[in-house]
A and B are shown apart, each in its own frame.
Chain A
Amino acid sequence: MGKKINLTIDGKKIQAMEGDKILWAALENDIYIPHLCAMKEQQQSPFAGCRLCFIEIEGKPRPVAACTEPALEGMVVNTRSESIDRLVEAGFNLIMSNHHIDCKICAASGACELQKIAKERKIRLKPKKLVQLDRNLPKDHSKDCIIYDPNKCVLCGRCVTACRTEGTAVLGLAYRGFERMVTTFGDIPLGETDCSGCGSCANVCPAGALIETDN
């Protein structure tokens, strides 16, 4: 099947499968690009909502999202530059201004993608100039094996995809704009849905919003 192609990312010559998006080509060659929403199985119809995977491609005037841009033969890509770093930091700050930060007691601490991005890019977890946009939504404890805290959700949509492909398709994205959230049909608690408790949602959650418990 797929043919191999050659490209350069951050000065490093790498190989990738033709048709793969640059994000995956980079990650598989140990070049880190911040990302929250991308899922490799979905790479042909990327969600492209988190807006953290910005890169520069030589010959293109504007930054592009690495998860939507196919890797092409001979391409020269930069994942770091002053303007890229600023844009990624701005996006990250916005996400953090809407993420309930309680790393000290958060079960995801250590395995959290947000912490990872902050560390890789040397960004503060708590943004300085932005107000904290808390919505103070209730946590959902109704299911014994899963806790859902919407105040930590970054709306990457990965749980929804996982629930559709591996679970019982009870999770969905609803409402518009700032009100948008991951929820169930009719906003009923998880415990009252057909949720099988498979935990696939928690497995893919990058931000500790969905946590699998031992029960």
Chain B
Amino acid sequence: MSNKSTAAATAFEQLKQKAAGTWNTLRDKPLIMVGAATCGRAAGAQDITKVIRDELASRQIEATVIEVGCMGHCYAEPLVLIQKPDNPTICYGYVSEGLASMLVREFIAGDDPCIEFALAAMEVNDFIPTFEDFPRGMVEKKVVMQHCGIIDPENIDHYIANGGYEALAKAIDKSGEEVVSEIKTSGLRGRGGAGFPTGVKWETCRQFKEDVKYVICNADEGDPGAFMDRTLLESNPHQVLEGLALAAHAVGASKGYLYIRAEYPLAVERIKKAINQAEESGLLGESILGTDFNLTLEIFQGSGAFVCGEETALIASMEGEPGIPRHRPPFPAEAGLWGKPTVINNVKTLSYIPHIIRKGADWFRETGTPDSPGTAVFALAGKVINTGLVEVPMGVTLSQLVYDVGSGIDGGKQFKAVQIGGPSGGCLPESFLETAIDFDSLNQAGAMMGSGGMVVMDEDDCMVEIARYFLDFTQNESCGKCTFCRLGTKQMLEILERITKGEGALEDIDTLLNLAKNVKTGSLCNLGKTAPNPVLSTLKHFRNEYEAHITEGRCPSLMCLNLIAYYILPDKCERSCDACIGSCPVESIFSNEDRIKVVDQEKCVKCKSCMDACPPQYSAVVKLSPPELVQEKENDNG
């Protein structure tokens, strides 16, 4: 045993030295890193890389250009990091092709770091603030995203040079039981949605004395608008692989899978490369680091249905069956893939594992709350100014996320609600802004942690329509196996559609509440059990909006098309301007005898083009609800 352990440690020491060499020589000449995860690419990162490469070549400058992952500042993409000897590393945002070539000219070739275009510096220095100096930086705490966007995800040496695979090298000389116990002590809870204690899950699986066990990384990430898992896979693939390897070692598995949705080609490609590199380095495959621990990892590309992310459905789909959930127990940890004990964990959950093993359970517990230790990764979207990915300690408040991280509401509008937890999450109003973000507080508030989707809504968002939108999603994604989820969500959707069209009755609210309660209790899997959350939470906090739709035919947020009309205010219309007429796709706007523009309500399709076209200095086009107000106004004007 002790001989073997020295062998593993020695083998790893060699890998580390080689990695340190690669990492340190990076600093000998200027290093330019372009954020090129899927989000960066969508913003044009690959063109930026090309411009930089061409500019360097034409000037015959020696510099290294690498494509890195995402740091989370998605609002400012494309992002470029420049590390020039004797300078702090500087991060530039909103990089255009022009700025990219300018940076090469002025900073790499010349000596001017173009501070005015810098977002922040990565290290403390005398002239540029760091990310930590901003409100967002004060809230943020990076664990799993620590190296995202600052290492080359396709180079294993970058990961190793930053502490990577150290946990595996350390754990491999310990028993699986010790690893399980460390994870249990850390209090880590699954980040796939339900928050189940990871150590307990592993312990259950470990107890079974079976030769064949499996570990699976759940990277199906089906929540609309969520991309936390994708970013981690693309930006730091080895971190996930190391987590999976530690899970395998802990429970005694020698075969693992990464179930990645087929819509994530870049993630698949990077994980593939990472597996190959790890195998070549002896960190995966047969006799890892010279020990008797073997682990082969394989990618399974998911077909894409949302419900396939549910663990029993995921396993069924890997077995070649339709991706339909089944009754639990047995839980996968007892009888999972091919009936064998199987640990299945989310990408984020697994990404924490190497950090916990390397730095210890106590270190992990220093962050977050006693019952929800560690950090949480959120995809912040909706009406905030700064959208993107952010990692914060558990226990920060919703208001810190909305105002410090997101910089508040866009366009000076009024905050209305935050929808948290993905399509099955709840909508929390302003009075809940001081709610702490952790598994239990969110559940109590009628929302949930989910996998980390967070959508901020303002005064223009109709809460009935929002509930309808999310229910439409879950209803569509229901597998249809069980009565409550298949028909209960359908009946609820029918009612919500009636209400948003102004055809609801007051008793519909009670029917809706009853259906919601029964679907929650009666459904077979968590899709159905959580699907009513958006309806229940909006009914609880915004019941007056439902009632306005039903009793007054009015949509207070002016969002529901059936309940609004576009109207041109005669005293604001400039008369000689024809912008609205030209913009209307159905020719519903005409000029009256005073050349004031009027909307023909019969023809209007409510596309909003006229409102957008009307020059801001006039702002003559308004929405009215209920639509009957138009008649009243017209009568008033004679």
Contacts and interface: CB of A to CB of B under 8 A. Distances in A.
Contacts of A133: 487, 490-491, 494
Interface in A39-63: 45-52, 54, 62-63
Interface string A48-92: 111110100000001101001000000000000000001100110
Given A133-B487, A176-B477, A180-B481, A87 B326 contact: no
Interface of B: 305, 307, 322, 326-327, 475-484, 486-488, 490-491, 494, 507, 511, 514-515, 518, 521-524
Contacts of B327: 46, 48, 65, 68
Contact of B483 (A45, A46, A91, A177): A91
Contacts of B322: 173
A200 to B, nearest CB: 22
A51 B482 contact: yes
A68 B326 CA distance: 11
A179 B483 CA distance: 13
A87 B521 CA distance: 8
A207 interface: no
A51 B482 CA distance: 7
B480 A177 contact: yes
Given A90-B522, A173-B322, A176-B476, 11 more contacts: A47-B481, A49-B481, A62-B521, A86-B518, A87-B521, A90-B514, A94-B487, A97-B487, A175-B480, A176-B307, A178-B487
9 contacts: A48-B327, A51-B522, A91-B518, A173-B322, A176-B480, A177-B478, A178-B490, A180-B480, A180-B486
Contacts of A173: 322, 481
B485 to A, nearest CB: 8
Interface in A129-152: 129-131, 133
B478 A176 contact: yes
B604 to A, nearest CB: 29
Interface in A176-190: 176-180
A22 interface: no
B477 A177 contact: yes
Most chain A Cβ neighbours within 10 Å, of B476, B511, B522? B522
Interface string A151-194: 00011000000000000000001011111100000000000000
A129 B476 contact: no
B484 A178 contact: no
Given A54-B522, A65-B327, A129-B511, A48 B482 contact: yes
A98 interface: yes
A155 B486 contact: yes
The CB with the most chain A CB atoms within 10 A, among B476, B477, B481, B490, is that of B481
Given A45-B326, A68-B327, A90 B518 contact: yes
A46, A50, A130, A173 pick with most chain B CB within 10 angstroms: A130
A108 B599 CA distance: 58
A86 B521 CA distance: 11
A131 B494 contact: yes
A94 B481 contact: no
Contacts of B511: 129-130
A43 to B, nearest CB: 11
Contacts of A97: 487, 491
B329 to A, nearest CB: 8
B549 to A, nearest CB: 18
Given A68-B327, A91-B518, A178-B490, A51 B484 contact: yes
